[in-house]
Chains A and B, each alone.
Chain A
Amino acid sequence: MKTEHTTAAGSLRAVALAITVVSIVTFVAVGYSAYSDVSGVISVSRSGSSAVTAKTVTSGNSATLYLNASIANGGLLPLKVSLSCQSQPNITCTPGSLTLAPGQSGVLKFQLTIANATQFGSNPSSLHINGTLIAELVPFATLTVGVDLGSLLSGGGG
């Protein structure tokens, strides 16, 4: 009888310990992955290398923005990055999506075409395109950033 109780109490204690250990390991993995991915992006942007290239090509009335971003996943968890934009009249958006396993690197390609770009020629700052950048540490955390892609076009790329 005493053994029964001791075994049950011991099992419950073991489960509690296992939950705590799994939680700690997960927090460390997520924290380290987030830190290494963010510090990787910061170091690339500080070094001034061409990790992110934005090119605007005009042909006739239309203008196309090509955005390529080299991303490296230095963390312990898979990294999923996607860039998309809201569809509007005269604007065609080809969303880019990339899933990187730990230690892998890849290029996120995004394309945006404006059919009647000449109407913004005199005032490029009036162009507002709602873009959404999603970075996901699969499956634990998601970062969603809303950006104005029009500013990239009006800024002439970079």
Chain B
Amino acid sequence: MMGSKVSWKRRVTRAAYILVFNVVLWIAIPSLLGEVLSQTLPSTPLSSASFIYAFGAVITALQTLAALTEGMAVSVPFNSGGYIASAYYIWAATEGGNLSFSTSGLNIALGFAPIVFLLMLPALFGAVRMPILFLLEQSEVARAIPDEI
């Protein structure tokens, strides 16, 4: 897909879909979760609107720019950056899988680091996959060009 011709109509349509999807995934859903969790877990980063909006805006912007530059080399850093930002967002929002709070005189601590790792894994793999695919395509293009003597 990287080296192939992609029309601007396709890019804009995809970017619009990705924009809406990312706003729902990284801003709307975490905001709702933050509202629910802020009563029992006031220390969670999800209870901070600025945390959600800042990360949501960064991830959405990177993914949208990646869709708008589809087929160009510049889409690779946008894509990888978006994936890395979303992996970090998951880690920061869950405090690395360690949450603690007090309720009814009980001190409760939740540890779920392996689950956080599993949540981050698809994003981290995506961050590596994009440059590999780009390099594979570039090597293919380079091989196809005959040597000039």
Contacts and interface: CB of A to CB of B under 8 A. Distances in A.
A28 to B, nearest CB: 12
A142 B115 contact: no
A38 interface: no
B54 interface: no
B140 A1 contact: yes
Contacts of A2: 140
Interface residues of B, number: 24
A8 B136 CA distance: 8
A12 interface: yes
B110 A15 contact: no
A142 B125 contact: no
Contacts of B112: 140-142
Contacts of B5: none
Contacts of A57: none
Contact of B144 (A1, A140, A142, A148): A1
A15 B144 contact: no
Interface of A: 1-2, 4-5, 8-9, 12, 15-16, 19-20, 22-23, 26-27, 30, 139-148
